[in-house]
Amino acid sequence: MNILHVVANMDPQSGGVCQAIRTIVDGLARRGIQNEVATIDAPDAPYLAQYTFPVHALGPAANGWHYSARLLPWLLDNLTRFDTVIVHGLWLYPSHAVRKAMTQLRQTPSAQLPRFLVMPHGMLDPWFQKASGRRIKALRNWAYWKLIENNVINEADGLLFTCETELLLAREPFRPYHPARELNVGHGIADVPAFDPAMPIAFRERCPELANEPYLLFLSRIDPKKGVDLLVNAYAALVQQQASLPKLVIAGPGLDSAYGDQIRQQVAQSPALAGRVLFPGMLTGDAKWGAFYGCQAFVLPSHQENFGIAVVEALACGSPVLISNQVNIWREIDATGGGLVGPDTQAGTQQLLADWLRLSPGDQQLMRQRARQTFQQHFFIDPATDRLIDALVLNDHKSTVSHG
């Protein structure tokens, strides 16, 4: 089997879609499946050298739509080499280009066409149409859907979703919406590095004011969507009620943004929070894994999260997760007891923290065991890869278009 993945860019700094493709390709390659990636990156982008699979860089992008005049001709010349083409993400030129290439190739007598699948990666979540501050973007998306994107979705052979919640939410925001097939293939990550004593040492070096005290961990981008303000306000309310709270570590990029500065100022100006809420910045390598392995629990009260790689990494390290019900993998986590789930409100976040703190040490340890089991059952790359392969071979043949 030979698969083409089409995406706007493969810059590791661009976030989850790029990382998801890397994980998917690695899993498929271990099953002997060939993968290539077509992207609108500039051919000389330095980060492309890190990839061990073929990446066809057909950029640079001419604008924010990620348009490149090179993409469509390349697709017309190459699509028939593949059994399947998977478009990753929506709202940009690559999805339109693949649909346009497929339409043109169908006019060729006896053309051997690949299956055409789309993996939205949460980009059909209704949150993006409802969130305050996104009114103009929501109107733009609605117009773009009517003109272009509905054709991509409804003409594809199927949509691939990373969890059941994403699949259900995708049905809500746009009409007409009638994909040929909806497939919950799940998603996963490779197992995390095994615990090493160097890891907590590296983390404590980045966060020396923590000393050897217990802590709760937020590790993600410091952004309004992630609900950091909910977490700080909920933690502050609990501090007023009890003095024996574990400290709160808020790690990740974004501290230098206006929102990050607002959060830091709130902590600095509160006598109850100063010294209790710590900001080590972005953590990588041993320091990151030391933070995950050493925390009492991982907390993410996000307003919208399609998969949440940091949530899954915490589970893999055996750390219970306290998450909002807007993290789309909450159903799987709740069902297997790997953490606690609540609303993405200050009251909901406060209740999450309080419920965790009320657990006995024995119950907290049991949840740590279930966290690791949750990862192995739902989010380890091998079973996720098997589900994806099952979806790909559902109709394991190229579509032959005949005329006459």
The DSSP letter of residue 377 is I
pLDDT tens for each residue of the chain, 404 residues long? 999 999 999 998 776 799 899 999 999 999 999 999 999 999 999 999 999 999 999 999 999 999 999 999 999 999 999 999 999 999 999 999 999 999 999 998 877 899 999 999 999 999 999 988 899 999 999 999 999 999 999 999 999 999 999 999 999 999 999 999 999 998 999 999 999 999 999 999 999 999 899 999 999 999 999 999 999 999 999 998 876 899 999 999 999 999 999 999 999 999 989 899 999 999 999 999 999 999 999 999 999 998 899 999 999 999 999 999 999 999 999 999 999 999 999 999 999 999 999 999 999 999 999 999 999 999 999 988 998 998 887 645 443 333 22
C-beta of residue 71 within 8 angstroms of C-beta of residue 38:
yes
In what side-by-side order are the strands of the sheet with 277-281? 277-281, 247-251, 215-219, 297-300, 321-324, 339-342
String of DSSP letters for 10-53: --GGG-HHHHHHHHHHHHHHTTT-EEEEEE-S-TT-GGGGG-SS
The pLDDT score that the predictor gives to residue 391 is 87
The pLDDT score that the predictor gives to residue 198 is 98
Q: What's the rounded Cα separation, in Å, for the pair 263 and 265?
A: 5
Nearest to 14 by CA among 70, 83, 61, 68: 61
String of DSSP letters for 120-163: -TTTT-THHHHSTT-HHHHHHHHHHIIIIIHHHHHHSSEEEESS
The pLDDT score that the predictor gives to residue 244 is 82
- Fold topology of 198-379: Rossmann fold (3.40.50)
Nearest to 288 by CA among 202, 197, 363, 398: 202
Nearest to 378 by CA among 325, 307, 319, 305: 307
The pLDDT score that the predictor gives to residue 242 is 79
Nearest to 141 by CA among 173, 111, 178: 173
| Distances from the Cα of 168 to the Cα of 91, 126, 158, 182, 238, angstroms | 20, 10, 15, 10, 35
- Name the E strands within 179-276: 182-184, 215-219, 247-251
Q: What's the rounded Cα separation, in Å, for the pair 289 and 194?
A: 9
The pLDDT score that the predictor gives to residue 132 is 84
The pLDDT score that the predictor gives to residue 397 is 41
The pLDDT score that the predictor gives to residue 383 is 87
- Range(s) for CATH 3.40.50.2000 in the chain? 2-190+383-398, 198-379
Beta bridge pairs of residue 22? none
The pLDDT score that the predictor gives to residue 133 is 84
C-beta of residue 369 within 8 angstroms of C-beta of residue 136:
no
| Distances from the Cα of 398 to the Cα of 104, 108, 161, 247, 393, angstroms | 16, 14, 22, 56, 11
The pLDDT score that the predictor gives to residue 393 is 79
Q: What's the rounded Cα separation, in Å, for the pair 370 and 182?
A: 30
pTM of the shown model:
0.84
In this structure, what is the dihedral angle of CA atoms 167, 380, 386, 388, given to the nearest 10 degrees?
30
- The residues, ordered by sequence, that sit 6+ positions from 377 with a Cβ below 8 Å of its Cβ are 336, 383
CATH of domain 2-190+383-398: 3.40.50.2000
| Distances from the Cα of 65 to the Cα of 59, 145, 162, angstroms | 12, 14, 24
Q: Which residue type sits at 364?
A: Q
The DSSP letter of residue 319 is -
Q: Which residue type sits at 400?
A: T
Q: What's the rounded Cα separation, in Å, for the pair 366 and 177?
A: 43
- The residues, ordered by sequence, that sit 6+ positions from 310 with a Cβ below 8 Å of its Cβ are 219, 220, 298, 300
